[in-house]
Every structure is written in structure tokens, then in C-alpha cells.
Amino acid sequence: MYKTIAYQGVQGAYSEQACKNAYGQYNTIACDTFHEAMWMVEQEDADLAMIPLENSTAGRVEEIYRLIPKMSLHVIGEYFEPVTHCLLALPNAKLENLKYVASHPQALAQCHNNIISLGLKAEAKLDTAGAAKELIELQDTQRAAIASKLAADIYELQIIKENFEDSHGNTTRFFILSKEKSVPIYNPEKKYITSLVFQVKNIPASLYRVLGGFAMNGINLLKIESYMGNEMLQGSQFHVDIDGHIDSEVLRLALKEVSFFAEDVRILGIYKSHRHQEAEYII
């Protein structure tokens, strides 16, 4: 039986493209929401979930930071997917006849200058792949969509222009989630990330002291995000990505100090840094 990986969006979404690039032999499962994609893994209806965490242009996906503390899944990896927008149209459409272009608002914003240069009227849709799919339904040669090359292949659309974004280098970082915990064996020669969430204790300067525990042990924090917890909690929760493996001595010492000033500390996952291990994610 083939393994499966769930994602949020319709067929041809950038999340599906990330699934295919990272786990080429897995069957992809489209889900309406992020929660549904995670739930499928929790219920063992999918082996993995590919969930976007942040984008280099649009910033963090805030909903994910609210869902992660509630889930019982483990982060087993990260994956970075370059976002390359394509201007798509029906097979018999011509560039000079196009009048409208549809896509997700973020994609429209990232292609704003090119849209203006072609004199197209932008129309906001719920997602990029959905806009591509709609072209087939409307059968209007005056309409175009901004979506992925995968969407063009799936819906048999013509790529009018590739690399349609105004500036290149836009990248989305994904978490790879699994019901089964998987921790790589520590090798001091390799790069790892430890992701955790915690709630600071309700005492003065508690966050300062938590961060000091990392600083005094020479631990590099790759990112820290804060968000309000549930109604039962009196303070903010924090998500931290740490440069290091939990089996390293310095990180063990740092987490001992953190425990004095933080509570509900939960390790989300320990995994290899994708920036240094791209090839190992191709299954």
C-alpha cells in the first residue's frame, strides 16, 4: 500500500507541489482546512501532513501556531519550497486578449507590477489552484490565473508566463507532521533543530530569564513566536526553534534552566535542518 501525505488546498496548490517534491512516492490527499489535514494524520487516515508555517514574503501562518499546541502530532522535519508563480490560461487563449487575472490575494500582491504592465484586472480568489481550476469551468479565453506549474499540468492549462512574480526568492517553510515520534541520532557534525512550546510562569522577568538560560549556554534561537494561550492560561505561550539537538550537553543544560521559569514545556520535534540536508528529504 502506498503511503499518503495530507495538505490543505485543492489539487495543484503549492502545498501539494511541496508534498510531491519532498515525498515523490507518496499519494497526496487534499483537505479543506489545516485542521482536517492534521486530523487525518491523528486518525491514521494519512501517514504525514505537510503544513505551511511561514512565508518569506507574507510572514507566518498564524492559524498554525494556534493549532500546533492542541495537536498530538510530532514534527519530524521541515521543508522549504520556493514559490514560483505562473500566469496560466486556457490552451487556446492568447496573451494579447487577456483582460482578467485571478488568484489568492497574496499571489496577486506578489505579481502586482507584472499584472499592471499587462493591463490586467485582478480578481481575488480563495486560493491559487482554485483560480486555475475555475478557468476550466468558465472556458473564457479573456481570463487568466496565477498558480503553480503543477496546477497547469493537472488542469491542462497553458503557461503564458513562468516566473511571473515581481521579485524572486519567495519561499515557504513547511512542518512535516507525523503521529509517530521520530528523533534522528545525534551527530555533532550535523545541523539539527529542536522545536518546543512553553508557557512562562507568572513571575516578573520570567521570559527574560528563560531566554537567559539559552544565552548563557551559547544556544542560538532560530525563531521565537508568541501568541495568547487559551482562556484558562494567564499569559502568553511561546514557540521556539532552537539550533541544536536535545541530546547535546549544552541544550540539556539550557532546558534545565528553562524549566525553573517556564511551565507546560513541550518538545514538538527534533529534526535535521533542511537548509543543510535538502537531499535527505527526497524519498
Query: Rounded to an integer, what distance in angstroms lies between the CA atom of residue 174 and that of residue 170?
Result: 13
Residue 247 C-alpha cell reads as 541530546
229 band by pLDDT with thresholds 50, 70 and 90: low
- Choose the CATH number for 4-83+171-181 among 3.90.1170.50, 3.40.190.10, 3.90.1200.10, 3.40.50.2300: 3.40.190.10
Q: Residues for the chain: how many in total?
A: 283
183-80-30 Cα angle (round to 5): 90
Supply the pLDDT for residue 232.
53
Arithmetic mean of pLDDT over the chain: 90
Share of the chain above pLDDT 90, in %: 68
β pairing state of 121-124 and 100-103: parallel
pLDDT at residue 28 above 80?
A: yes
CB 20 within 8 A of CB 28: yes
Q: Which residue has the higher pLDDT, 69 or 104?
A: 104
**What Rg, from alpha-carbon coordinates, does the chain have?**
21
**Are 220 and 208 spatial neighbours (Cβ–Cβ below 8 Å)?**
no
- In the chain, CATH 3.30.70.260 sits at 192-274
- For domain 86-161, the question of CATH label 3.40.640.10 is answered with no
Q: What is 192-274's CATH superfamily?
A: ACT domain (3.30.70.260)
pLDDT score at 279: 40
Task: Kindly list the catalytic residues.
Answer: 172, 174
Name the band, by pLDDT with cuts 50, 70 and 90, for residue 56. Answer: confident
Average pLDDT over residues 152-159: 97
pLDDT score for 237: 84
Cα–Cα distance measured from residue 58 to residue 200, given in angstroms and rounded to the nearest whole number: 28
In which element (H, E) is residue 134 found?
helix 128-138
Enter the pTM of the model.
Answer: 0.87
Does the pLDDT value for residue 112 go beyond 60? yes
Greater pLDDT, 262 or 108: 108
